[in-house]
Chain A
Amino acid sequence: MTGVLEARNIVKTFIVRREGKPHELRAVGDVSLSVAPGEIVGLVGESGSGKTTVSRIMIGIERATSGTVTYNGKPVETRADWRALRRSVQYVFQDPFTALCPTMRIGDALAEPLIIHNMCPRGEVPGRVTKMLETVGLHPDVARRMPNQLSGGQRQRVNLARALMLEPKALICDEIVSGLDVSIQAQVLRLLVELQERLGLSLIFISHDLRIVRYLSSRVLVMYLGQIVEQGPTEAVFDNPQHDYTRALLAAIPDHSRVLAGAA
């Protein structure tokens, strides 16, 4: 199977100083990951497992120590390659409060990617912004607002809208719903499903909440200490986990369906 976006044998070591001496810290050790067109892949693991580092490498925010990233089957190597990749693969960050420039109106924040990548004539920009706000379920008036005038859920929609402005093929979402209230979280999850079905988006969905990953993704990878310890179709991994760590992670999820089933 060829993926839209693929990471092959990614290794990342950071040099940290411990007691004054440089020290190698292996954050990611030999991880391969791919996402097919229209597929939602869940990447789960606890903090420090390296899931964010892998995803940042896949979009070029971080450089891998070794290993390759391929896009549409071609290795991404030169600056021009990365630039092309960043036009079609977008990243949605965890914290909707720090991801938006506080002094920029929402409309300008959404227009910026179009202008940077020279995607359309200047005259069409406002129209596209309005359309995108509607796509993510926000009122077009939001374009005139500042980030601090929006709620957390609204800001996360704006971030999603900004990532979608360039009509990307793939989206990397790093814990994008973990800070949201459940009823808002459900709204954003529904929106993601709708976008995937309607636009055929590929999604890498990073989360520590296995309940959300179970709901959203068709395939799941479990990371622990920089390694992928288990992967497979979501149903198989959740219903019949093979690795001890996956089992421990599943057992730790607070879940009322399980507690109620146990009490019955």
Chain B
Amino acid sequence: MPCALNVENLSIRFSGRDGDIAVVDDVSFRLEAGESLVIAGESGSGKSMVCQALLGIVPKAAKVSGTRIDWNGRDLLATTGEAWRAVRGAEIAMIFQDPTAALNPLITVEHQITDAIRAHRKCTKDEARARTIEVLGMAGFPELEHRMKSYPSELSGGLRQRVAIALALSCAPSLIIADEATTNLDVSIQAQIVTLLRRLKDQLGLALIFVTHDLGLAAEIGGKLMVMYAGHAVEQGPVLDVLADPCHPYTHGLLRSAPTLKSSRTNPLQPIPGQAPKPGSIGKGSPFRSRCPVVVGGVCAATRAGWTSAGEDHQVACHRFALDGREGVR
């Protein structure tokens, strides 16, 4: 089966005083057209770095390595400099967390988008304008003709994020990456944006990568879920399977510490004890071992766990699970 995006063994390292520090370590995933992948994890888990690597916008000091990042036949790992321009924005587009920072405050909504279109394809001003109206319409931007002349500062946060989405759609990409794209928005606006992204994915056959720290949002987006911890993927599978039947102690811990609309103090939240390890301090063992309640003595400190199957398409990287199954990690 042809695969739109195939990431194999992606690692991202920074040089430190005592050798290289991996902020993303050996992450692999595949994504087909029309599919969505949610990357969930806390700050410092490396989820944003993975997205940046797909667009070639990692910080200069970062070293990206791996077997391959295959994108429709092009190896993104081998892509450099000007060659990125054919991919970035045109084929893979990104929606950032803060739409205020993502938009140029000095130009109108209309010109933000026509500029992007004209940078990527040869077309007349009128054609660019027509496309701008089309994508703003897709993004649910209201009172188009009149409002597209406004500046970003004249719009609410929700509307600015819709402009950012229209900007991402403008060159008809086949993959959209939304990095915490709804985190700063009010809940009702967030729900609108999530519905919009889901609809665009289905209508346009887009592949979608949605990065979030909110497991509730992950469930609303649907598709596949990859849980990241300290630069490592620890569990992956269909979102609902993973949330209904978590198999990694970290996924368990996240679910126990996240309040839901059903939670009450008779069933207290259980925070994960301790703090995430500093990058570079993990060494060869399991990244979660310092906070894990079900550590396997001697083994977790010495080696990384490989993937163990926990169901159809559902995999978990945990020594305890490999030894004792579901009962062991509960």
Contact = CB atoms under 8 A, between A and B. Distances in A.
Contact of B261 (A185, A186, A216, A238): A238
Contact of B260 (A151, A187, A251, A256): A256
B187 interface: yes
A263 interface: yes
B82 to A, nearest CB: 38
B240 A255 contact: no
A183 interface: yes
Contacts of B255: 256
Contact of A215 (B194, B218, B254, B263): B263
B246 to A, nearest CB: 11
Contact of A211 (B43, B243, B244, B263): B263
B268 A193 contact: yes
Interface string B257-284: 1111111110011111001000000000
A85 B266 CA distance: 33
Contacts of B219: 254-256, 259-260
B213 interface: yes
A91 to B, nearest CB: 22
Nearest to A49: B186
A252 B193 CA distance: 11
B191 interface: yes
A251 B220 CA distance: 12
B42 interface: yes
Nearest to A239: B261
B217 interface: yes
Of A47, A181, A184, A256, most buried by chain B (CB within 10 Å of CB) is A256
B237 interface: no
Nearest to B272: A183
Contacts of B261: 210-211, 214, 238, 250, 253, 255, 257-258
A158 to B, nearest CB: 15
A252 B219 CA distance: 13
Nearest to A177: B259
B311 interface: no
B186 A182 contact: no
Contacts of A186: 256-259, 269-272
B243 A215 contact: no
Interface string A135-165: 0000000000000000100000000000000
B9 interface: no
Nearest to B191: A252
A88 B218 CA distance: 41
Contacts of A249: 187-188
Interface of A: 46-47, 151, 181-187, 189-190, 193, 208-212, 214-216, 238, 248-260, 263-264
